[in-house]
Each structure stands twice: as structure tokens, then as C-alpha cells.
Amino acid sequence: MLEPKIIVDFPHHNAECPLWHPQQQYLYWTDIPRGKLYRYNPQTQTHSEIYSGESVGGLTLQADGSLVLFKTKGTVQIWDEGKITTLIDEIPAEKHTRFNDAIADPAGRVFSGTMATSEDKGRLYRIDTDGSIHVILEELLVPNGMGFSPDLKYFYLTDSDTYTIYRFDYNQETGNITNQQNHIIIPQGQGVPDGMTVDAEGYIWSARWDGSSLYRYTPQGMEVLRIQFPALKVSCLAFGGSDYSEIYATTAGGNNRSQEGAGAGAIFHLQSKVKGVPEFTSRIVIS
């Protein structure tokens, strides 16, 4: 059984979006409500705050090593060691909400969802490499963790408030997704599906908010592994390390550990026998 160990014992309100930086060998993540970004150096076992400001709900790694930040009101910016460059100032339809999670595809496009509000449903956007913005899906509630099958035939999307991980046919040439299917439906009592990733074997890993666990599923959607955490809200995970055999998991609830668990809000590490794969890099450039 994989054993989660705390590597950053800091009471994040909602640590999310862990992202491994292979060039630097650092882990990045966001604390969404507090508007903070952090990174962790496994060599020195130290972490530092690198950004403070508007909430960041999603991250991708640009091909040049900088980060793309997906924020409130549809704002998209590049962060490069403290220097901020705006790619998209705002999306008028999203002025009352924020992006939630983001993933780059093999061509460097980015998929990112926006959360539903009392007035409007959530949406899934695709931002192409030229900065053009495309609404891909509507009528979502809390679009969340995403991933691709290793053969790039399928795209996965979590909608937390429908307790569903959807599967789509994915067209790498166009970036289009079609043929939406209910791939994994989470039973009551297992928490809310949050962030996710896909390992090198094509198995799906899903973090479970209010479920204290990470789940691993076969490509067909059958549960094969469940890892318990001393934190009620397990929010996301990412593979990292020099050979992608290490799992980093984020948690939330550090502002109320008496009810959320002794490890709530901490960053966890697990040594895995299963390897992950590098995330694709975004290549958004606006001339």
C-alpha cells in the first residue's frame, strides 16, 4: 500500500493544481482562496511563496519553462520568475467567476473550465496557441480535473457537482472533443471527484474532496486502488520526480484541522511503483 507522507506541513486553505516542472525539478501549486502560488524543491526539502495576488485556479507549464496562470474573470497571464505578462485580460461572460483547473494538449492548446454561478452555468474553454478563445462545453457545474489517454484517443473531464468523470473522443489535429460519455460515476459516500491525472498505463487517478482518498481506476473505469489520507479534502495529484515515479498530492481545510483532519491543507508525497507521464506544455503566444 502506498503511504502518503507530509512534505509541506503548511495549513493551506485550498492547495490545488500541483504541477511538476521537469526542467527545474520543482513542484508548483496554488492556494486558491488566498491568492498564493508556491513551489517546492525536493533536493533541499524547502518551499517558498512565489506569487501573491488574484486567485489562480489553474496552471500550465509553457514550453519555455514559464507558467500560465488561469485566474478570475477569464484572465490568463504568464508568470516568469515574478514577471507577469497578460495574454487575455478578461472574458466578459466570466466576470463573476473564475477558471478552475487547466491542462495543455499535445499541440500546446489549453483546456480550462469556469465554475457555475447562481446566474450562469460553467463552461469548458479551449484556448488555442494564437490566443483565440473557444467555448467547447456549456451547462457544466464545477469543471475540474482533466487528462488524456496515453494513445490520445480520449479526453477526460471531471464535473465535481455531478459526481462524474466524462470521457470524450479527442481529435489531436483540431483539438475538438466529441461523443461525451459518463465514464465514472462516483457513488454517494465516496466524496466529490476533484483533480485527476492519467498514469503511463492509462489508469485514471482521481482525488476525492470530502472523501479522504486518492482513487485509481482502470482505463475502463473499474476501481483498483484506494489510498487514505489524514485529510478529509484531497484536492488533486501530480506525478513527478526524475522518472515520474513520485506522486504529489494537495489537500485543503488547513484553516480547520480539528474537523478536516490532522494533515488538512498539507502537501503529501508518495513513492509509486506506477509511473506517470510528463504534462504537455502550453504554447500560447499572442503577437
Pairs from 113-117 (Cβ < 8 Å, separation ≥ 24): 113/140, 113/142, 113/143, 113/144, 113/157, 114/74, 114/143, 115/57, 115/141, 115/142, 115/143, 116/140, 116/141, 116/142, 116/161
Please provide the DSSP assignment of 44-74 as one string: TTEEEEEEESS---EEEEBTTS-EEEE-BTT
Residue 194 appears among annotated catalytic residues: yes
Annotated active-site residue in 80, 194, 199, 243: 194
Backbone angles phi and psi of 76, in degrees to 5 = -130, 125
- With CA atoms as reference, report the closest residue to 165 among 115, 215, 126: 215
Grid coordinates standing for 197? 491525472
Rounded-to-integer distance, Cα 233 and Cα 191, Å: 9
Catalytic residue positions, numbered: 194
